[in-house]
Amino acid sequence: MAARLARRFQVITIDNRGIGASDTAPGHYSTRVMADDVLAVLDHAGVRQASLVGTSLGGMIAQELALAHPERVDKLVLVATIPGGPRSRPMPLGTTYLLASAPFMTSQAKLQQFVHTTLGPATLRRRPKVARRLVARKLAHPQPESAWRAQTAAGMLFNPLGRQRRITQPTLIVQGTADQVVAPGNAEILAGLVPDARVQRFDGAGHLLYWEQPKRFVRAVTDFLTDPVTAARMPAAAAHRAS
């Protein structure tokens, strides 16, 4: 997906603290702290303004950055994420049970279960190789348990108190209808808060919808970022925020 977007945009992909190639900082994580991490990366890259693409926890971080530093954000693409606090629809029950039982599972079993939870049932049934690719990617970049817990807590504590009404950037909200991590109804709630927001649904797709429908996702993001109606200028960069 990043390679496809790079045909039209400068793309900066960021590993959150505690995952991928980034260090695992000790202590408490928050979406505000991780928004500062994104800002530091943009500063280091010399990018004055960027369009942010954020998924799940990354979508929460993107909201925080747009609120704290609106001058640095051109457009927002919020994927499978929540408005935060009591406004959020609760996590689907199956995933809630999985989170509760995760400490008692083997690493391999936990990985398999979480990967299956992030994909839609049609993809798991018809294209099981997508799940195998996800498992291989996670095994290649193992995440410390402490970082996983810190990131999970950051997402659970995310609560902008409805301040999304101050977000002035054009915003595309993308949501899979078969998402078992973020209840699909959160998309409409978030769209009701952000003044200039539109919702695009991916029928049958799960939480990591761009793994299931990458071409459609890239087309949707490209159309949004280059639409002259949503803004008078082209984005300086597309910064993809992984969950």
User: Which CATH number fits the domain that encloses residue 115?
Assistant: 3.40.50.1820
Strand order in the sheet with 11-14: 11-14, 238-241, 50-55, 73-79, 171-176, 197-202
Angle between helices 31-45 and 57-68 (to 10 degrees): 70
pLDDT at position 235 is 42
Residues 217/209, Cβ–Cβ less than 8 Å: yes
pTM for the predicted model, two decimal places: 0.92
The partner residues of 171 in beta bridges, in order of sequence, read 76, 197
* Number of domains the chain contains: 1
pLDDT at position 175 is 98
Q: What range does the domain containing 6 cover? A: 2-241
pLDDT at position 61 is 98
Maximum distance among all alpha carbons in the chain?
A: 52
Instruction: Mention every residue, 6+ apart, whose C-beta is less than 8 A from residue 72.
Output: 39, 42, 48, 49, 50, 65
Could you tell me what percent of the chain has a pLDDT over 90?
A: 84
Measure Cα distances from 241 to 58, 73, 139 in Å: 5, 13, 20
